Structure 1
């Protein structure tokens, strides 16, 4: 079993991930492991070389945890010898592996990759990334200390995320060679479909290519990763813009994130916060009764915003994923069907935002301990993955 655990970040520690990291540290320490967090944004280059040498030691009883493949490991040491991480290595992803393709390529083949979405395993294989994978949710292991939703909360609706002004399909084609233009068309088509019906990104892109008569199997892996990233950025933006435009007609909402360029800054019913730090987001969330999460790129796993909403004692309305079935069954959250026309979708959201419906979810929340709905703890998931033959399953 592990004797030492080191979690390595590159800043942005004041985030939802930071809370999960603290939970991991506590859990490992309770199991007798020495554990620490290293923030590389505060470490000098010379010290990073010391860490690389430390991780190069063949000590699999020590566990290295890196986040989102942002740390790219060198191919060679400073003396010219080949570099390989000798510790057990777990790389925890928040998003589709396509977003972190270059970082993932730098990992040892025996590194374990934690994914939030079952379909991302297929993406790993399509990108020719050979690593063993395990599902590793961003749901906290223990909801015992989460506050109840209080009716007196000041703000009713919060939408957080980004809806970036993305380049047009024409300008994107102008920046790429003609042989990629058909696949750019397929990416835009897949994004429009995903924005209405959450589904695995790779499957949608492959189907879009097939329907349009394009053969995508021969695409370079880096190009495929870029196209899958474009699909998800587009679908997120399309879904979020649609909902905001529907709601601001009759509802007052808080917007957190990059929604610039869409005219929301001056809209009468919008309190526009813009891009902000996690502390401000969390403070706003704790004064909010309902948070809308629009992440159609996740059809199975769940973004951290749903879990942070529950942890802050607010009610989530979210795009549907299989991860959330126990929570929806328990009546503590509700989901949105984006495949409705605008009139029906606005009516459905208004119904879900009614005081009566929110009150029912608040009551369900009071009667249902959230931790009782949690699955296997994340530390147990890691032990099972690294020690499949020795972990006590009883």
Structure 2
């Protein structure tokens, strides 16, 4: 999908940078998920790029779900088996996600920014898994973990998803091994309570740049570098801007989802491996400190914290800063505008570091 700006609204990018994205036939690079191009569970700021591309390049990238083992007979193909075999359980961690990358973007320098535009997404297999997990919001209410397998209605994408079957997770005391395999003969599958249809909102749960510092970090907590933001709006047509902390930025993707609601309250979305086409560009005309999302209609700023109050404060402060820089408002005017025209929401409550987002419709600046 080609990004089509709303001509009457304010864009994040300057005309010069927009021209980079408007190139009719940018170089396209294949980035399959293989044992040599993925990391499992950690983001290493010193990692050697698996690929270096020019600013404005297009990438056909494979994003892998670490929950493919919840129904391996449906979601674990030959390529994913190779990754599972290459990373024994002892070498997965300290986080849980399989990340494809990092990719160095020429011209992306510390202190600047990099833009990642998601052009299209497609399912690797027509099945995904939802885990009501020990890290979910209400685990103490249920006292167990439960897996629900969802199936896409047909081959078109996006479409609808329907619950296919569910089972209580009993093969371990808790779901604490990333990529744990639960074969069909070790489960007691049960039908879902009644027919439902879930609108599919395909997106990347994890997308970001290498974090500040030199020490590897877990893939679970999000931060100013992006990572496991879990904003369902990070899908087709979205452009996400990240501050750059290391030369080349080091863009990576992972944790693909078929669908998720704000909050991701039970612990996961519909986790499903996915292929995506993205564009990456170094930008030097953007002033940001945390990830900023631009959709066809809105801007969203993000906040992170140990509690929702801290996350909300950061998201609102970043929106005020964005409006001051990009629209030219005073702090007083921006604060008022966010209160009367902005929407503050909970991104997720299950990633250790909690997330909030603040959105505003760009058409009000016509």
Asked if these proteins are the same fold (TM beyond 0.5), I'd say no
- The alignment's TM-score, normalised by the length of structure 1, stands at 0.23
Q: Given the two structures, how large is their TM-score scaled by the length of structure 2?
A: 0.24
Higher helix share: 1
Q: Which has the higher strand share?
A: 2
Q: Which has the higher contact order (CA 8 A, sep 6+)?
A: 2
